[in-house]
Amino acid sequence: MSWWRTPTARRYTFGYTLLAPAVLYVLLLVGAPFLFSLYLALSDASTGAPVAHFVGLDNFRSAVETSVFYTALRNTLLFTVGAGILKGLLGTTLAFLLLQPFHGRKVIRALIVVPFTLPIAVSVLGWKWMFDSQFSVINWALSRLDLIGPYGSASWPVWLGQPGLALLSVMFVNVWRGFPFSAIVLLAGLTSVPPEILDAAKVDGATFLQRFRKVIVPMIAPILFIGSAFDTVFTLSDLSIVYLLTNGGPDGATEILPTLAYNTGIRGGALGRGAAISLFLLPILLPLIFFLLRALRRRQY
């Protein structure tokens, strides 16, 4: 009997058939654009030149020789780390609150996903109106609470016009949009923990923090690792929020690598240099994903 007619061969064939759509998706929608961006980064491609020529690493060298690149790199790290920490804290708090029995819990669980499911352009433009320097509903509320001066006074903060406040504003919108995802991921993990184990830890005298750190976290670690990886990728490559709110301003205070790559490659026409700037996200992202997946694999054995 031929090998491909054996039960083992049939199982392999069935498994590879199930994996084929996912592999095809990655190759077409991830691999092909990545290879094309690598080709652009190694050439002098631009919107005004019909033919691109190989230039090696010149685009990468030109990018690191500009001061705006290091500003964008610093803002990218601050934006990703700050938003990630806040989303983790808020998501954890919200997940534990949603575990508690109260009336209307199902409705609240449905409502918390609204920021994550709204079209990003609609939600961000709404926040842009709320951050408006003259008609900000946030400033109006703070004024009514006597935390800032009356309407039109110099004490009114210009949320998107002052460098420090602008970075905090775009980070806040990213956290508002993303922390429901963190809460849902953690909630799914918490509901999978057997209550008998938590009851046994309570009987042994473990506090809430001890139960969370020594019982819950080890049991839902795979879910936390995967959720952290997805959230990091989403935050690190978040172009829409910054572009719609500030477009990198004021004076580069909110410029991050995705917006710098877009403004250089698409709006500026320097496709090769823009692609090179975007590829600088890989050295930031790959080590983190590698360590997360390595830690996940160790826990499986």
Distance of CA 74 to the CA centre of its chain: 16
- Domains (range + CATH), the chain: 68-299 (1.10.3720.10)
Residue 54 sits at φ, ψ, to 5 deg, of -70, 130
AA letter at 169: S
Contacts with 295 (C-beta within 8 Å, 6 or more apart), sequence order: 221, 225
Residue 2 is predicted with a pLDDT of: 64
Which CA distances in Å does 61 have to 47, 69, 151, 278, 279?
A: 21, 11, 49, 14, 13
AA letter at 287: P
Residue 106: pLDDT band by 50, 70, 90 thresholds? confident
Q: What is the mean pLDDT of residues 252-271?
A: 92
Residue 22 is predicted with a pLDDT of: 86
Of the two residues 116 and 153, the one the predictor is more confident about is 116
Residue 39 is predicted with a pLDDT of: 92
Give the long-range contacts of residues 44-52, CB within 8 A, separation 24 or more. Answer: 44/272, 45/271, 45/272, 45/275, 46/269, 46/270, 46/271, 46/272, 47/269, 47/271, 48/269, 52/272
Residue 299: pLDDT band by 50, 70, 90 thresholds? low
Residue 4: pLDDT band by 50, 70, 90 thresholds? low
Residue 301: pLDDT band by 50, 70, 90 thresholds? low
26-73 pLDDT, tens digit per residue, is 888 888 888 999 999 999 989 888 788 899 899 999 999 999 999 999
Distance of CA 128 to the CA centre of its chain: 20
126-153 pLDDT, tens digit per residue, is 999 999 877 788 888 888 888 887 776 6
User: Helix (H, G, I), strand (E, B), or coil: what is residue 43?
Assistant: strand
Q: Chain-wide mean pLDDT for the chain?
A: 86
Q: What is the mean pLDDT of residues 268-291?
A: 89
Residue 203 has pLDDT above 70, yes or no: yes
286-298 pLDDT, tens digit per residue, is 888 888 778 777 7
Residue 242 is predicted with a pLDDT of: 92
17-35 pLDDT, tens digit per residue, is 888 898 898 888 888 888 9
AA letter at 276: A
Residue 11 is predicted with a pLDDT of: 83
Q: Indicate the pTM of the whole model.
A: 0.86
- Taking Cα atoms as reference points, which of 170, 147, 171 lies closest to residue 85? 171
Q: What is the mean pLDDT of residues 218-238?
A: 83
162-182 pLDDT, tens digit per residue, is 888 999 999 999 999 988 888
- Taking Cα atoms as reference points, which of 190, 213, 187, 191 lies closest to residue 201? 213
Residue-wise DSSP of 135-158: T-HHHHHHHHTTSS-STT-TTS--
Residue 152 is predicted with a pLDDT of: 65
Which CA distances in Å does 43 have to 33, 57, 99, 262, 276?
A: 15, 9, 54, 17, 10
Residue 241: pLDDT band by 50, 70, 90 thresholds? very high
